[in-house]
Amino acid sequence: SRRRHTRFKCDWSSDVCSSDLDGTVIGMPSRNLLTEPLLGNEQAKFEALKLNYVGSVNRETGLCSMWRASGVSTLEDAKKAEIPVGSTGAFSVASVFPKILNKLFGTRFKPVLGYPDSAAIGMAMETGEVKGYCSFPLSAIRSARPQWLTLKQINILLQLTTRAHPDLPDTPLLMDLATNEEERQVLKLISAPTTIGRPIFAAPGVPAERIRALRDAFDRMVRDPAFLEAAQRENFDINPVSGEEMQKIVGEITASPKSITDKLAQIIGGIEQNLR
């Protein structure tokens, strides 16, 4: 079939978009785009809360994990010597998380840039080219590299999310490292997008009845036995988030105190300077 590409062009002051307003065009962005407007990214010319969220098939659990043969099994190990970790680019979360850990907690991670995707970084871990990856979703490991878990080929240092995965009760969250409440709020904000996993949205201006129809269809899909059976065959985690809940979560993210967003932007700004 022919793939159709549409760009949303919105007047955010009036919630009117020049793209299709009948709900037949939907978006599936990177979840981390939702925090970009808060952090002063001049390219993020949108307001996350004004998008109409349909749902997400999974609450993501990002992992900071090291290849077992690297000998890095704790954060303390990561403070003893430089630790190369894979990253797609200077401003990807795979670079941001390691640099935050370096700046706040004294680790010595060194993002190695230029990998095209997580699959390539996974191969680099297996060959010893890098020692780890601080952004690999648990669902992606289960789907593409389940042997990493069954054969215990990786050491999981941290969960990069706001709520611990039930299968990893003894693995700390990034937020657990905070030494004060401000630090905890900063780490919570950078971790928050994982709670909406793989967001699906429609543009501002789509009629409310069409959004209800899309959300109802999504909710039926994630409960459909055939869909769940297919997901299980592919080792895909299905832990859905409804459109209504996503709208609430995005509202909480965008309502973060300015002192917290400014602090995180300051940290990331310093990171960007270091990576240039």
pLDDT score recorded for residue 2? 38
pLDDT per residue, tens digit, the chain (276 aa), is: 334 444 555 654 555 554 556 778 888 877 767 777 776 666 667 788 888 999 999 888 999 999 999 999 999 999 999 999 999 887 678 888 998 999 899 999 999 999 998 899 999 999 999 999 998 889 889 988 999 999 999 999 999 998 899 999 999 999 999 999 999 999 988 888 888 888 899 988 899 999 999 999 999 999 999 999 999 888 888 889 999 999 998 888 888 888 988 888 787 765 444 444
10 Å Cβ neighbour count for 173?
A: 21
Give the per-residue SS3 of 17-81: ECCCCCCCCEECCCHHHHHHHHHCCCCCCCCHHHCEEEEECECCCEEEEEEHHHCCCCCCHHHCC
Contact residues for 254 (Cβ-Cβ < 8 A; gap 6+): 34, 37, 38, 47, 48, 49
| Rounded CA separation 163/181 (Å) | 17
Hey, what's the torsion of the CAs at 222, 190, 254, 237, to 10 degrees? 0
| Rounded CA separation 236/131 (Å) | 25
In whole angstroms, how far apart are CA 45 and each of 12, 48, 192?
Answer: 9, 10, 20
| Rounded CA separation 156/158 (Å) | 6
Phi and psi at 194, nearest 5°, equal -65, -20
pLDDT score recorded for residue 245? 92
| Rounded CA separation 178/199 (Å) | 28
pLDDT score recorded for residue 55? 94
